[in-house]
């Protein structure tokens, strides 16, 4: 056996796992995602095409035709709704990749416990899941943007601002859902409930299809607390210069950062608590 020149500890570097634990967890999650990459691509391409047909050729054409080719904010209707649609795509993408993998890691396959038995900490596991979810969200949004640019729905100069604003919303929502999912002890259809009674109302009543201030006052608070609205407003200002007071710009950024901080403040301790059992 001495001829093998094997030294204990030579195969694994614990310090490397400590330094790069989050990225290793994210790498594993992205590898798992590759098994259904066809569905991810189909969804990422099909969704914007359907919206282009329904909004660009349908509602958008009607709105533009009745406003001399320009919306009330000085751009085409499709360009107005694009930031909100991209935020919705990013949020839905990260939700899928935060919720089900977290349930899988804690309840179904319990893989998080095996990972935590190594040098990878509970915080790194949480961060890894979130990073992989953000990678999925960015991939989906990039496909969406590619379709919008290919069909001349938005100028290419709007791509980077819209990518940043939509991913900001995705980051905020991923931390919130990470905190929520970490508290679930069993799957009882909670994610379907969140989709129908949280995400759908936020999408519809957050200034997605027309400015929030035009909605009834009793519906406007839905937009105020929704990452959809804050992301869409940032995207509209950054991509085509929609008017916004500097204070409101800071409010939008501050609120999304607030969601990130609160989400992680609840998610990290819960991951640590559950993995310590």
Residues whose CB falls within 8 Å of the CB of residue 55, separated by 6 or more in sequence, listed in order: 77, 78, 81, 85
Cβ atoms within 10 Å of 5's Cβ, excluding its own? 7
Spatial neighbors of 234 by CB under 8 A, at least 6 apart, are: 83, 165, 168, 249, 252, 253
Global pTM exceeds 0.85? yes
pLDDT in tens, the chain (277 residues): 444 454 555 555 666 656 788 999 999 999 998 888 888 888 878 877 887 777 766 776 677 666 655 555 678 888 888 999 999 999 999 999 999 999 999 999 999 999 999 889 999 999 999 999 999 999 999 999 998 898 888 899 999 999 999 999 999 999 999 999 999 988 888 899 999 999 999 999 999 888 999 899 999 999 999 999 999 999 999 999 888 999 999 999 999 999 999 999 999 999 999 999 7
**Domain residue ranges of the chain, discontinuous segments joined by +:** 21-182+201-275
- Helix orientation angle between 159-182 and 227-240, rounded to the nearest 10 degrees: 170
Least Cα distance to 266 among 174, 199, 190, 137 occurs for 174
Instruction: Quote the CA–CA distance of 138 and 149 in Å, as a whole number.
Output: 16
Alpha-carbon distance of 23 to 30, in angstroms, equals 10
Question: Could you give the CA distance from residue 267 to residue 275 in angstroms, rounded to a whole number?
Answer: 12
């Amino acid at each position: 056996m001495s001829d093998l020149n094997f030294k204990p500890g030579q195969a694994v570097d614990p310090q490397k796992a400590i330094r790069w634990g989050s990225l290793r967890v994210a790498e594993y999650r992205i590898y798992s995602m590759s098994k259904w990459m066809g569905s991810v691509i189909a969804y990422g391409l099909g969704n914007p095409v359907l919206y282009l047909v329904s909004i660009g050729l349908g509602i958008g054409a009607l709105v533009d035709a009745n406003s001399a080719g320009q919306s009330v904010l000085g751009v085409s209707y499709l360009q107005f709704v694009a930031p909100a649609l991209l935020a919705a795509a990013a949020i839905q993408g990260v939700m899928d990749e935060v919720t089900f993998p977290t349930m899988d890691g804690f309840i179904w396959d319990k893989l998080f416990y095996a990972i935590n038995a190594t040098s990878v900490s509970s915080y790194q596991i949480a961060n890894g899941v979130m990073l992989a979810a953000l990678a999925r969200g960015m991939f989906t949004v990039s496909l969406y943007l590619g379709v919008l640019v290919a069909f001349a729905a938005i100028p290419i100069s709007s791509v980077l601002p819209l990518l940043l604003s939509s991913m900001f919303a995705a980051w905020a929502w991923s931390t919130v859902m990470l905190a929520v999912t970490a508290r679930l002890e069993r799957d009882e259809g909670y994610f379907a409930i969140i989709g129908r009674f949280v995400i759908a109302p936020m999408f519809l009543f957050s200034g997605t299809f027309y400015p929030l201030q035009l909605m009834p006052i009793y519906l406007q608070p839905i937009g105020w607390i929704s990452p959809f609205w804050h992301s869409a407003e940032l995207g509209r200002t950054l991509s085509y210069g929609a008017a916004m007071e500097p204070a409101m710009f800071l409010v939008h950024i501050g609120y999304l950062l607030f969601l990130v901080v609160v989400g992680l403040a609840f998610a990290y301790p819960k991951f640590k608590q559950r993995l310590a059992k």
